[in-house]
Amino acid sequence: MNLSIIILAAGQGTRMRSDLPKVLHPLGGRPLLAHVIDTARCFDNAALHVVAGHGVERVRDAFPDPAIHWITQEQQLGTGHAVAQVLPNVPDDHAVLVMYGDVPLIRKDTLGALQVIAMNNEVGLLTAELDDPAGYGRILRTVDGSIVGSVEEKDATDEQRRIREVNTGFVAAPARKLRNWVDSLDNNNTQGEYYLTDIIAMAVADDTTVRGVTTRDRNEVLGVNTHAQLATLERCYQLRQAMACMEDGVTLIDPARFDLRGRLVAGQDVFIDVNAVLEGEIMLGDRVHIGPNCVLRDITAGDDSTILANCVIEEATIGKASRIGPFARIRPETQLAENTRVGNFVEIKNSGIGTGSKINHLSYIGDTTIGRDVNIGAGTITCNYDGANKHRTVIGDGVFIGSDTQLIAPVKVADGATIGAGSIITSDAPAGELTLSRAPQETRKGWQRPVKKK
């Protein structure tokens, strides 16, 4: 039996108090719905249907995947109504698995258990035991433990509200039977909606066995309706990420203060201190050391490289045994070769730094090519922008740039040149020579500093 997956993502999310559709709010740097779609794609050859409603164009534009079949629910009349919009596109010989676009932590293995039940021509229902079941529908069982129905909290009696086993909404059923049950739904309830959960009692009445699957990880069935709930799920998600990294051998000083908003590929003996935020694609070689309070986005760091505290690095390559920071900013399209040194309050953008070169203090290097074994003095600026266009500075091997130098691009400093401190370089500097530009020093004898009038 083939599988069709229906993801319900039409809710407006009014309690989020946001113009952004609820399923596009970020978790781990990606939309809630992206996590759900990724889990759905773990099922081989499953047909994927997404029901969208509020902000449908924005939601669809965020997922330009031709394999997704989009259904628009013009009126949000309940989960049963949403599923009904999709079922005409589902063959009778399929099993149907219903997922939710605002429940991002659900695991494939949990859903796989429901799939197996549906493939056996029965109904699989995911339940959970909660200490505080408020807001959830309750599972109704007979004295022998058989599931006979589910009741929404607003329609439940006081006795039923005391039940702690809740209906998570995740259900799997044979398509032919599901179609008949959904067609029979009514909205005779306090919400005036068509509840998908009502099919449970219908299945029992049709002598179809309803089998409950209970998850032990309550976090995987938590949904998002408020920013507070989103923040709670963020920490759940990040702890899951942290645990996976540590299982792969990464040392995290404090898993509770670690954010991975993308994918990390790490070598052996990688060390990450507190409050690190990793975004996009991060590749760290062996023995990489990341200090506290660093933000890394789409970077590659070679073996034995060190990134000290409070650095921001994005879209850059860090060579082996290099040392960055503290308080350095490496901007996109920057490549540092092996054994480079970038110190405190240095900003580098769209530049290549050669092997063994050093920029240790308070400098801006933009649109620059620096050769091997170059020393850039404190306060150096490559002036790359003339107000209209960017220009490049080229510094050869073995160059020494004195402190407080400005290099006005386009300009070249040839191999082995020395630039005197405090210079403004507007023309190419020749190889092996000292080049400087300074006004003569003058002392005015007898000069008095002005004082305030009393």
Rounded-to-integer distance, Cα 220 and Cα 149, Å: 22
b/e map 4-28, b = 16+ CB within 10 Å: bbbbbbbbebeebeeeebbbbbebb
**CA 53/CA 47 separation, integer angstroms:** 20
Contact by Cβ (8 Å): 296, 316: no
To the query of whether residue 25 is one of the catalytic residues in this protein, the response is: no
Nearest residue to 263 via CA among 235, 291, 297? 297
Q: How far apart are CA 396 and CA 429, in angstroms?
A: 10
Query: Closest by alpha carbon to 341, among 358, 361, 319?
Result: 358
Where does 82-206 show beta strands of DSSP type E?
94-100, 123-129, 137-141, 147-151, 165-174
Q: How far apart are CA 181 and CA 175, in angstroms?
A: 10
Integer Cα distance of 92 and 86 in angstroms: 13
CB atoms within 10 A of CB 369: 16
User: Catalytic: which of 25, 69, 289, 361?
Assistant: 361
Distance of CA 383 to the CA centre of its chain: 35
- Pairing mode, if any, of strands 418-419 and 434-435? parallel
β-sheet bridge partners, residue 277? 259, 295
In three-state secondary structure terms, 248 is coil
Residue type, 48: L
> Residue 5 pairs with which residues in a beta bridge?
48, 97
Cross-strand bridge partners of residue 67:
none
Biggest CA pair distance of the chain:
109
Amino acid identity at 91: P
DSSP assignment string, 234-267 = HHHHHHHHHHHHHHTT-EES-GGGEEEEEEEEE-
What is the DSSP pairing of strand 26-27 with strand 2-9?
unpaired
3-state DSSP percent of the chain in helix, strand and coil, to 5:
20, 35, 45
Q: Report how far residue 454's alpha carbon sits from residue 452's, in angstroms, rounded to the nearest whole number.
A: 6
Active site residues: 361
